[in-house]
Amino acid sequence: MRRLKELRSQRGLRQIDFAKDMGILQSTLSSWENGRYEPDSEMLIKIANYFGVTVDYLLGGEKVSSSTKTKGKWIPVLGDVAAGIPIEAIEDIVDYEEIDAALAATGDFFGLRIKGSSMEPRIREGDVVIVRKQDDVDTGDTAVVMVNGDSATVKRIKKEPDGSLVLIPNNPAYDAQHFSPAEILNKPVHIIGKVVELRGKF
């Protein structure tokens, strides 16, 4: 990663100091800069945020001047979310999206690429939703919900007085899903994040 070494040198950072900032060994940094190994996706994002550049630039893509600062934060876009696996550990990263610094300061975020047509016309297949990780939302919110250990689904949420949960699609061709308190516990059904932004793809 030639550009990593360039960025570090432009800042006047010694290898040992930058390695400390990243929480890694100096030998690990040296192996990255010499091209023997590459950082994982999470570390690439961390390095890009540190220097205020894009992941693409780090990997040798777009040209960015040394004075360019990315004010936002880059987050991974997942093609799927598997049950029981921390978002940070998922390898199914299909892209990256930038969110602004003010939004990034309100929690932990990831992107999710939409599959299927249950949320049309508002949210279409291939669109990306920006999701703040949280285990509860309000009625009317759109959330990412894990049902029965399957892949995550994106639906509008309605909470019933008896503790039931209703997952409502935007597309009238699909039926709403009703889950009683017992089903929520036993299937299980749990909310993993709130959709806060839609990035439509053309």
Catalytic residue positions? Answer: 118, 155
Rg (CA), the chain: 20
Helix, strand, coil tally for the chain in percent (to 5): 25, 25, 45
Structure tokens at 69: 């600062």
Local structure of 101: helix, strand or coil: helix
Any idea what the Cα angle at residue 18 is, between residues 67 and 111, rounded to 5°?
70
| C-beta of residue 110 within 8 angstroms of C-beta of residue 129 | no
| C-beta of residue 37 within 8 angstroms of C-beta of residue 1 | no
Local structure of 26: helix, strand or coil: helix
Give, as one character, the DSSP assignment of residue 163.
S
**Which helix (DSSP H) or strand (DSSP E) does residue 166 occupy?**
strand 165-168
